[in-house]
Amino acid sequence: MRGAALLLCAVLPATACPLSAPMLQQGEVQADWKVDGAPIAVGRHFAIEVQLCPAGAVLARANATMPEHRHGMNYRPGVKPLGDGRWRVEGLMFHMPGRWELQLDVRAGEHSERLLDTITLP
């Protein structure tokens, strides 16, 4: 269901991040995410849990768009810190099938990064 990340950048030393195989990386930020609860389905709210590295990075915003259709979601998700570099994003909903692009806006120190991943719903 998940596509490959579209972004490639410099790799941090292995000891700098507890993620063994981060799914997303941009600049000095690495991240992985997973659905929290039921699988993603068209027209149903869902939540994800995001793990950021370095742990001091802040998930400032999460969103999703359909690039081919030039629109986003009908809902604005909320972001809650869970501690230890983990974040919960609630209130996501993909209201139609097709290719969605998950966007995670992250701040790490003085730098801001946008991490992208692709999700395709049948």
Terminal CA-to-CA distance of the chain, rounded, Å? 9
Residue 55: per-residue pLDDT: 81
Q: Is residue 89 pLDDT above 60, yes or no?
A: yes
Q: Which residue has the higher pLDDT, 27 or 13?
A: 27
Q: Is residue 105 pLDDT above 90, yes or no?
A: yes
What CA–CA distance (Å, rounded) separates 40 from 100? 12
Q: How confident is the model at residue 19 (pLDDT cuts 50, 70, 90)?
A: low
Q: Is residue 11 pLDDT above 50, yes or no?
A: no
Q: What percent of the chain has pLDDT over 90?
A: 66
Interval 62-88 mean pLDDT: 95
Q: Which of 16, 14, 13, 23 is nearest to 49 (CA)?
A: 23
Query: Could you please report the per-residue DSSP string of 20-54?
Result: SS-SEEETTEEEEEEEESSPP-TT--EEEEEEEES
Beta partners for residue 83, in sequence order: 86
What is the overall mean pLDDT for the chain?
85
Residue 102: per-residue pLDDT: 97
What CA–CA distance (Å, rounded) separates 64 from 62? 7
Residue 28: per-residue pLDDT: 81
The pLDDT tens digits of the residues spanning 110-120 come to: 889 999 999 99
Q: Which residue has the higher pLDDT, 100 or 29?
A: 100
Which amino acid does the sequence have at 9? C
